[in-house]
């Protein structure tokens, strides 16, 4: 249960303007952290900062013992990405390049890694299919397999079920939970409180301009904040 990430009193933002402040949390090996918050609260900004794609304005992000090549990333999807003209296998195998080893030809170990990732996500039968002809749920599984190729230990997922129908959402959540049970650390941005309650071990809730909660899922569910977020989401759902 080693410590993998420590975020210490971070201020994050753009061009010198803070989006959110006082971000403090720790992720241990095997945790499943769900990052909750309203639209625009800074969840994606935090993921980008964790990946080093955005500078930290104040504070420090410590990746502890995690190494390059142990971290996989599934970005938020856009319509353009969904239209990508490549085969499933090509996309999955391109995850191996994200490990920082670029070769002009595909290595045997990369092929094996891609085959294993496709098997884990139940998409082996689709390997020769064109990505843009797949359903949204299948496309997300392909991108998750790609992230798995890049990662041995930690997956960062930004709103992975966006745009999927309820069954495909559920299937993807179950697959992510299975990866977590097999030892993979998961950090997932979501505004889906039900997924957080069902699957996560820890919750980080970001509010307007600051962190509102970090702790175990159980403590979050029993907190005033957790209760009011659950109730407000349920009210929205019932409308």
Q: Considering CB under 6 A, how many residues would be counted as binding ligand ADP? A: 10
Which H, E and C letters describe the chain, residue by residue?
CCEEEEEEEEEEEECCEEEEEEEEEEEECCCEEEEEECCCCCHHHHHHHHCCCCCCCEEEEECCCCCCCCEEEECCCCHHHHCCCCEHHHHHHHHHHCCCCCCCCCCHHHHHHHHHHHHHCCCHHHCCCEHHHCCHHHHHHHHHHHHHHHCCCEEEEECCCCCCCHHHHHHHHHHHHHHHHCCCEEEEECCCHHHHHHHCCEEEEECCCEEEEEEEHHHHHHCHHHHHHHHHHHHHHHC
Residue of the chain from 23, 25, 33, 37 that contacts ligand ADP (CB under 6 A):
37
Residue closer to ligand ADP, measured from CB, 58 or 116: 58
**Does residue 101 touch ligand ADP according to CB under 6 A?**
no
Residue closer to ligand ADP, measured from CB, 45 or 151: 45
Residue closer to ligand ADP, measured from CB, 159 or 171: 159
Residue closer to ligand ADP, measured from CB, 39 or 182: 39
CB of 224 to ligand ADP, least distance (A): 21
Binders of ligand ADP in range 137-176 (CB under 6 A) = none
**Does residue 43 touch ligand ADP according to CB under 6 A?**
yes
Residue 211 burial class via C-beta count within 10 angstroms: exposed 0-12, middle 13-18, buried 19 and up: buried
Residue closer to ligand ADP, measured from CB, 40 or 183: 40
Residue of the chain from 31, 32, 33, 42 that contacts ligand ADP (CB under 6 A):
42
* Closest to 110 measured CA to CA, from 155, 148, 84: 148
**Does residue 114 touch ligand ADP according to CB under 6 A?**
no
Residue closer to ligand ADP, measured from CB, 138 or 211: 211
Residue window 14-33: x/- pattern of binding to ligand ADP, with contact defined by CB under 6 A? x----x--------------
**Does residue 180 touch ligand ADP according to CB under 6 A?**
no
Residues at the site binding ligand ADP, with contacts judged by CB under 6 A = 14, 19, 37, 39-45
């Amino acid at each position: 249960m080693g410590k993998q990430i420590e975020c210490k009193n971070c201020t994050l933002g753009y061009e010198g303007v803070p989006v959110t402040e006082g971000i403090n949390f720790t992720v241990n090996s095997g945790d499943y952290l769900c990052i909750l918050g309203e639209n625009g609260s800074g969840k994606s900004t935090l993921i980008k900062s964790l990946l080093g794609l955005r500078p930290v304005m104040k504070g420090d992000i410590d990746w502890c013992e995690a190494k390059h090549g142990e971290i996989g990333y599934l970005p938020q999807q856009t319509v353009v990405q969904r239209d990508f003209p490549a085969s499933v296998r090509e996309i999955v195998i391109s995850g191996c390049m994200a490990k920082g080893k670029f070769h002009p030809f595909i290595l045997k170990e990369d092929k094996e890694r891609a085959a294993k990732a496709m098997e884990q996500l139940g998409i082996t039968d689709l390997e020769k299919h064109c990505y843009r002809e797949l359903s949204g749920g299948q496309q997300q599984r392909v991108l998750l397999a790609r992230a798995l190729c890049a990662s041995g230990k930690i997956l960062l997922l930004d709103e992975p079920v966006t745009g999927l129908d309820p069954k495909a959402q559920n299937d993807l959540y179950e697959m992510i939970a299975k990866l977590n049970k097999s030892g993979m650390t998961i950090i997932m941005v979501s505004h889906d409180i039900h997924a957080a309650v069902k699957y996560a071990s820890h919750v980080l809730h970001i509010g307007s301009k600051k962190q509102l909660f970090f702790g175990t899922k159980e403590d979050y569910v029993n907190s005033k904040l957790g209760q009011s977020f659950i109730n407000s989401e349920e009210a929205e759902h019932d409308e």
